[in-house]
Amino acid sequence: MINLKMEITDLLHRAHNGDAEALETLIPLIYNELKILASKHLHREYAAESIQTTVLVHEAFLRLAGRPLPECESRSHFFSIAARVMRRVLVDLARARRAAKRGAGFETPLADLPDLGAPPDEKFLALDEALERLAAYSPLKGQLIELHYFAGLSTEQAAETLSIPVYTVRRELRLARAWLHNELA
């Protein structure tokens, strides 16, 4: 497992530097982990029937691959970036659905509109806005929420990724959860 983590980190560095062969090797190694991450997002944060896991992974990957692969310090760092991109995909989808629900320039009869599935989850959009405010208030707390809840890292992995003590991660996560609870109440 450690060798695989080191191999993924090495491939990420090489892909960032434009090595197409490294990117080809990297994709199958990270694909299943991205699907697990996407599945967590969908089940925890969003109406699962509105978008499939595979679609979310592919859309996030297209957004990541649409520009130079970001510089990643480690495998954990890459997955935190991927989690952030997946969150942006879901937020964009929720906003598009809300806009479609409200008319957003449509002059088409309702019968001609495509089936948009479940209505947007307003709670998800409220959570995203609260997370943006949290990150503005305390970048560390915002980053820890992304690493722990969106990237699925344990407190130990988040501490390692940010090079801070585990007890600091635990304390900051408790404070961030309380802050978010207060904001969403």
pLDDT tens digits for 53-71? 788 888 887 887 766 677 7
Q: How many CB atoms lie within 10 A of CB 97?
A: 20
User: Higher pLDDT residue, 184 or 66?
Assistant: 184
Average pLDDT of span 3-10: 75
pLDDT tens digits for 7-50? 888 888 888 888 888 888 888 888 887 887 777 766 665 554 46
pLDDT tens digits for 80-133? 888 888 888 888 887 777 776 665 554 444 344 344 444 446 777 888 889 999
What residues does each domain of the chain span? Answer: 1-104+115-120, 121-185
SS (H, E, C) the chain: CHHHHHHHHHHHHHHHCCCHHHHHHHHHHHHHHHHHHHHHHHHHHCCHHHCCHHHHHHHHHHHHHCCCCCCCCCHHHHHHHHHHHHHHHHHHHHHHHHHHHCCCCCCCCHHHCCCCCCCCCHHHHHHHHHHHHHHHHCHHHHHHHHHHHHCCCCHHHHHHHHCCCHHHHHHHHHHHHHHHHHHHC
Per CATH, the number for 121-185 is 1.10.10.10
Q: Could you name the CATH architecture of 1-104+115-120?
A: Orthogonal Bundle (1.10)
Nearest to 163 by CA among 102, 74, 100, 45: 74
Look at residue 175 in the predicted model and tell me its pLDDT. 95
pLDDT tens digits for 153-171? 789 888 888 889 999 999 9
Look at residue 121 in the predicted model and tell me its pLDDT. 60
Look at residue 18 in the predicted model and tell me its pLDDT. 81
Look at residue 29 in the predicted model and tell me its pLDDT. 82
pTM above 0.85, yes or no: no
